[in-house]
């Protein structure tokens, strides 16, 4: 992919606004739902339910000894679902899939070694039912070293890219969110180029895109309601 010559117009506008880091996820209100479904990990879950932000999940997932692969998975899922209680039920279903533990450990191992693209390719070829890109890329992000650009890729990000940056991501499939290694690589490379052009960390740019996409969806829903 040819690197863009200037910062992306929409993204540059977002950086001009007051930047506020992503706050911790509020999960205290749903933690009992998780404890009920994962009783063996109750102590771990209760120990992380306060001030669960990106930095804390990153520490949990980057540590190779203190927490198990399953606990890393639970930390990511708990953060990802936040205050939505349904997350515990969905996470439990994912853990019941065939070869879940084997596949999970492989993804974590590849990610921790800085092989985030290989981790994505592995999940493309060895999918886990109920664990698509929206949460699979979260796991890869949190388990990857800090110097690796392994961004989260979910429907909101995809919507934003499809609207504002489609031409700058050749080879990417933006019709729907799916496991597709080339799409993920294009997204990662584009984000790195925007980091160098804008002077903002790629993680902050990713969050700005996510927040902007949330506003896009809210406007779309309001417009649909009025019809």
- Judged against a pLDDT cut of 90, whether residue 17 lies above it is answered with no
- Residue spans of alpha helices (H) in the chain: 9-16, 31-37, 42-48, 54-62, 69-81, 86-95, 100-112, 116-125, 133-143, 155-164, 181-198, 202-226
- Judged against a pLDDT cut of 60, whether residue 13 lies above it is answered with yes
- Judged against a pLDDT cut of 50, whether residue 223 lies above it is answered with no
Rounded CA-CA distance 144/57 in Å is: 11
pTM: 0.92
- Any idea where the domains of the chain sit in the sequence? 28-113, 151-226
> CB within 8 A of 17, min separation 6: which ones?
none
206-220: pLDDT as tens digits: 999 999 999 986 555
Beta-bridge mates of residue 52: 25
What is the mean pLDDT of the segment spanning 36-45?
97
Residues 215 and 207 sit within 8 Å (Cβ to Cβ): no
User: Percent of the chain at pLDDT above 70?
Assistant: 93
Residues 126 and 118 sit within 8 Å (Cβ to Cβ): no
49-81: pLDDT as tens digits: 999 999 999 999 988 777 899 999 999 999 999
Report the Cα–Cα distance between both ends of the chain, in Å, rounded.
41
What is the mean pLDDT of the segment spanning 169-183?
93
What is the mean pLDDT of the segment spanning 109-118?
97
Residues 8 and 164 sit within 8 Å (Cβ to Cβ): yes
- Model pLDDT, residue 2: 62
Rounded CA-CA distance 157/136 in Å is: 14
- Model pLDDT, residue 226: 52
């Amino acid at each position: 992919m040819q690197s863009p010559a200037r910062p992306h117009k929409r993204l540059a506008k977002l950086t001009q606004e007051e930047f506020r880091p992503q706050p911790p996820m509020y999960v205290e209100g749903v933690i009992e739902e998780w404890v009920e479904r994962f009783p063996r990990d109750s102590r771990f879950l209760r120990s992380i339910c306060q001030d669960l932000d990106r930095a804390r999940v990153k520490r949990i997932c980057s540590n190779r000894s203190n927490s198990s692969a399953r606990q890393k998975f639970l930390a990511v899922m708990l953060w990802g679902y936040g205050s939505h209680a349904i997350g515990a039920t969905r996470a439990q279903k994912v853990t019941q899939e065939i070869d879940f533990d084997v596949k999970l450990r492989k993804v974590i191992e590849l990610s921790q070694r800085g092989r985030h693209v290989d981790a994505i390719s592995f999940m493309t070829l060895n999918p886990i039912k109920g664990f698509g890109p929206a949460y699979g890329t979260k796991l890869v992000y949190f388990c990857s070293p800090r110097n690796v650009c392994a961004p989260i890729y979910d429907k909101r990000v995809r919507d934003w890219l499809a609207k504002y940056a489609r031409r700058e991501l050749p080879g990417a499939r933006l019709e729907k969110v799916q496991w597709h290694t080339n799409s993920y690589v294009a997204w990662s490379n584009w984000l790195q180029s925007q980091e160098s052009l804008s002077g903002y960390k790629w993680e902050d740019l990713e969050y700005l895109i996510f927040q902007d996409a949330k506003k896009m969806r809210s406007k779309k829903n309001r417009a649909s309601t009025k019809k």
